[in-house]
Structure 1
Amino acid sequence: MHLFNRIKFSTPESVELEFTLAGIGSRTWALIIDYNILGLSLALFIFIWVSISAQLIDIGLEIFGTGFGLWMTAIAFLSLFLIYTGYFVFFETIWQGQTPGKRIAKIRVVRDDGRPLSIQQAVLRSLLRPIDESLFIGALLIMFNKSEKRLGDLVAGTIVIQAQPVITSANLTISEEAKLFYMSLQKISDLSQLLPDDFAIIREYLQRRNGMSNKARASLSIKLSEQVKSIINLTIMPADISSDVFLEAVYLAYQQPEF
């Protein structure tokens, strides 16, 4: 296994994107964080369940007989399983492939083509997690699989990549106007909706724009700007900010630590 394995995606816009795979170290760190949060959640549920179930069982035994206790135990185990699997499904769905642990570790789950994963894929990954963690099957698959996939990734058609983009580029220049505007942009837009492949398309345009004709550059700049505004829910923008300056500001704002 390479320390910094790379993978390439081809987007519908015919742009080739390259990302770094998360690797077992980052994934383990994210899992430790998630399991600490999950452990506290399960402990809280058990505490609440024990507090209320004693009274319910006493009442239920009088009404339904000895079988009621078994039903309560089955419900408890089912609830624990739903919390365990639901934690990963919930966060990976609403946070576009990230759990709290993955956010801290700066990694993200995406489809094999680089697009956001679906809820069905999140469910598959979560249901197969216990198998992956049995006898370290998932860790072994990650280490000896070129795409660094565990069983859940192989079945769901997903891959885990580094969410932190490359910050610098020798072929990219940022205007002073964009450097002033990007801080305001963070306050008036939701940059968390911007995915790594969206960012990479912006970066590639900024790198290649000087080699385009004026007409092609203006057309593509406006098109990308409109798409990005829609993604980050930006409805109002200063009239004196051009499309190129806006995209430069997005490039800068996306990379800030608070994002």
Structure 2
Amino acid sequence: MTQGLNNSINNALPEGVSITLTPAGISIRTKAYLFDFLIRALVMLVFGFVFSFMGKAGQGILLVLYFIISWGYYIVFESLNGQTPGKKRYKLQVVQDNGLPCKLPNIVLRNLLRPADSFPFAYFVGLIVMALNNKYKRLGDWAAGTMVVYLEDKKVNLVSQTKDILPPKFDLSTEEQLAIIQFFERSEELSQARQAELASILSAVLKAEGSEASDKLKAIARFYAGQEI
């Protein structure tokens, strides 16, 4: 009965960090889907016009492009930052169930199951499944361990020391992500020298030392935490 009234989810991560997520409902996700559908339709119309002058060869190329765009659109955009243009417009993001950013396998799996969600037409199965759980997860989300949340409502109980958000240029495991978040959470209790000393352990990958390494590490932690200032 409370679904849709207050469906925020508080995730307590192993390192003591609390993440509050608000799942995106059917209405807002439908708007995001229609926005993405419009973009894909316009792209196909442009390609259709261009290749219409090439006869059967153009039709063949157009079918290949349709396949690539239909399957690649969501995978490419969501693998970058969890957002398609439609999700970005409505401030939504795909994340793991624990609130951390998705990895490529999560994104690929949730999108490979779109045909199952769309069976027999108009995402009928997906809509029914979403309506029956307070996280509004479709079949693809259940299989991939993902959910779509409001980006602006995702909060982490951390004390800010920097306004920078820095997406890392290297892959980190979940445990490593949590360790960086813990460092950021405890940074208020540490001296600047101690912060710089700890951050310098990763100086090789951060390509920085001392206080500069500390600032970069906290900026990466803010990225993983998803906190907005």
Shorter-normalised TM range: 0.5 to 0.7
Question: Residues 225 and 247 of structure 1 are in contact (CA less than 8 Å); yes or no, is this contact kept in structure 2?
Answer: no
1:112 aligns with 2:97: yes
Deviation per residue, 1:55-102 (Å, 9 max, x gap): x48xxxxxxxxxxxxxx65x6434312211110011011x22111111
Deviation per residue, 1:200-244 (Å, 9 max, x gap): x869966x777x5x67x975x5588679999xx97679x888969
- Taking structure 1 as the reference length, the TM-score comes to 0.61
CA distance in 1, matches of 2:54, 2:34: 30
Give, in angstroms, the shift of residue 125 of structure 1. Answer: 2.2
**Greater shift in the superposed pair: 116-125 or 95-104:** 116-125
Task: Give the match for residue 255 of structure 1.
Answer: 228
User: In 2 relative to 1, CA 122–242 (structure 1 residues): closer, same or farther, beyond 3 Å?
Assistant: closer
User: In 2 relative to 1, CA 191–49 (structure 1 residues): closer, same or farther, beyond 3 Å?
Assistant: same
Give, in angstroms, the shift of residue 151 of structure 1. Answer: 1.3
2:144 to 156, 164, 177: 156
Which structure has the larger Rg over C-alpha atoms?
1
User: In 2 relative to 1, CA 10–235 (structure 1 residues): closer, same or farther, beyond 3 Å?
Assistant: same
Task: Give the match for residue 134 of structure 2.
Answer: 146
CA distance in 2, matches of 1:27, 1:229: 41
- Secondary structure of the residue aligned to 1:164 is helix
User: In 2 relative to 1, CA 85–31 (structure 1 residues): closer, same or farther, beyond 3 Å?
Assistant: same
Question: Residues 202 and 224 of structure 1 are in contact (CA less than 8 Å); yes or no, is this contact kept in structure 2?
Answer: no
- Name the structure where helix makes up a greater proportion of residues: 1
> Partner letter of residue 71 of structure 2?
T
1:45 aligns with 2:42: no
Map 1:103-252 onto structure 2 (within 5 A). 103-133=88-118, 134-135=121-122, 136-165=124-153, 182=163, 191=166, 219=194, 221-222=195-196
Question: Residues 3 and 23 of structure 1 are in contact (CA less than 8 Å); yes or no, is this contact kept in structure 2?
Answer: no
1:31 to 30, 33, 44: 33
Paired residue total: 216
User: In 2 relative to 1, CA 30–223 (structure 1 residues): closer, same or farther, beyond 3 Å?
Assistant: farther
CA distance in 2, matches of 1:235, 1:46: 47
Q: Which has the higher contact order (CA 8 A, sep 6+)?
A: 2
User: In 2 relative to 1, CA 84–165 (structure 1 residues): closer, same or farther, beyond 3 Å?
Assistant: same
- Secondary structure of the residue aligned to 2:93 is strand
User: In 2 relative to 1, CA 234–243 (structure 1 residues): closer, same or farther, beyond 3 Å?
Assistant: closer
Task: Give the match for residue 63 of structure 1.
Answer: none
RMSD of aligned alpha carbons: 4.5
Question: Residues 147 and 159 of structure 1 are in contact (CA less than 8 Å); yes or no, is this contact kept in structure 2?
Answer: yes
Give, in angstroms, the shift of residue 26 of structure 1. Answer: 2.6
2:86 to 101, 119, 126: 101
Question: Residues 106 and 163 of structure 1 are in contact (CA less than 8 Å); yes or no, is this contact kept in structure 2?
Answer: yes
- Taking structure 2 as the reference length, the TM-score comes to 0.67
Give, in angstroms, the shift of residue 144 of structure 1. Answer: 1.4
Task: Give the match for residue 85 of structure 1.
Answer: 71
Identity %: 31
**Greater shift in the superposed pair: 99-108 or 157-166:** 157-166
